[in-house]
Structure 1
Amino acid sequence: MPLDQIGRTLASVYDNLVTEGVPEHLAALVRRVRQTADDAPARRGPEIAAAAAIHPQVALVVEDDPEIRALAETLLEETELDVIGCDSAEAALSVLQARGGDVALVFADIRLAGRMDGLQLARAVATLWPRARLVVTSGHGLPRPDLPPEAVFIPKPWRPLDVLVQAERATAEPAPPVV
């Protein structure tokens, strides 16, 4: 069985356990397998590496209010990122499972439709997709919610410039190493 197939299988099982809490050593193993799978096309040859380069970086907007989500999507469409909008953490996790290696920015509200909230999503992204820049927002008077240390918090109403700065950092700054 190829290593990338093992990684995808392990990652999909792990994603289902995120909300229950999983030991960090398992999370580290999943990240290493994913990094190896993400790096595999470059090692296989120029044709496959060129095909992998076709997939542009993605900004994932996770917001249950359609008007605010549309505003954030429109704003981020002005960057070099492709934009995908989701109304729930579960929908965002599906996108991340499919395109996690392409996701450069996750911009998520804390209150979301569905069973998971934005804090649970933030923990999952920090654990499974640590190379994605994680920006969390809320308009409910939270000074700085209990977020992973690498997450950025922007209170609502956010300024468009603040969101664009985070998008620029997601594409310009090197991704953190996978540990």
Structure 2
Amino acid sequence: MQLDQIGEALASCYDNLVAEGIPDHLAALVRRVDRSHPSEPERDLRPEPRVALVVEDDVATRDLAESVLEETELRVVGCDSAEQALSFLQEKGGDVALVFADIRLAGAMDGLQLARAIATLWPRTRLVVTSGVEPEPGTTLPDGAVFIPKPWRALDVLLEAERAARDPSPPVS
């Protein structure tokens, strides 16, 4: 039985239930199920798409990465610095499935520092770090992070986005 049919059945019984003394909390529930009730706006119950966060200070490269990632089911957000990315993550970190970040960024923090912070604070976020130069010897990426050298191939970025989108969303706490 579909939700609409259940709502209609409950609504048709509502008057009889009120006459028999239905508790207020149950009456409120019946009103919420009744989709035709004029005081309750209809809401879209589909979950918000998860986010791919592109962190790149070069506008052309960021635009290209955003265009590639827009071909996925992820919602794409661009940032030009690690600080801007962290600000976004503080608000929406649980929604972020993928962070695609350049190592060299404008601002005080570089992409490796950003990746380490994300790995600590949002460990379920998939991390992809990119650069036109290899990371310096002795530099380690956080566990699970992937390095894709520039110039990267769109297919490599899309594969990482697919892996991120496929991972289940973290439980809501």
Instruction: Give the structure-2-normalised TM-score.
Output: 0.69
Distance verdict in 2 for CA 1:54–1:176, change over 3 Å: closer
Partner SS, residue 48 of structure 2:
coil
Of 90, 114, 120, the match for 1:121: 114
Residue type of the partner of 1:154?
I
1:90 is aligned, of 77, 83, 88, to: 83
The counterpart of 2:100, out of the listed 85, 107, 114, is 107
Aligned equivalent of 1:65: 58
Percent identical residues: 70
**Alignment coverage as a number of residue pairs:** 129
Counterpart secondary structure, 1:104:
strand
Letter in 2 for 1:136: V
Please report the RMSD computed on the Cα atoms of aligned residues, expressed in angstroms: 2.3
Letter in 1 for 2:147: F
> Which is helix-richer, 1 or 2?
1
Aligned to 1:156: 150
5+ unaligned residues in a row in structure 2: which ranges? 1-42
One-letter code aligned to 2:56: E
Shift of 1:140: 1.5
Structure (1 or 2) with the larger CA radius of gyration:
2
Comparing both chains, which one has the higher relative contact order based on Cα–Cα distances under 8 Å and sequence gaps of 6 or more?
Answer: 1
Q: Is the 8 A contact 1:130 1:176 kept in 2?
A: no
Check conservation: 2:129, 2:148, Cα contact below 8 A: yes
For 1:176 and 1:126, locate their aligned partners in 2 and report how far apart those are by CA, in whole Å: 14
Deviation at residue 123 of structure 1 after TM alignment: 0.3
Q: Distance in 1 between matches of 2:45 and 2:110?
A: 32
Gaps of 5+ in 1: 1-49
TM-score between both structures, scaled by the size of structure 1 = 0.66
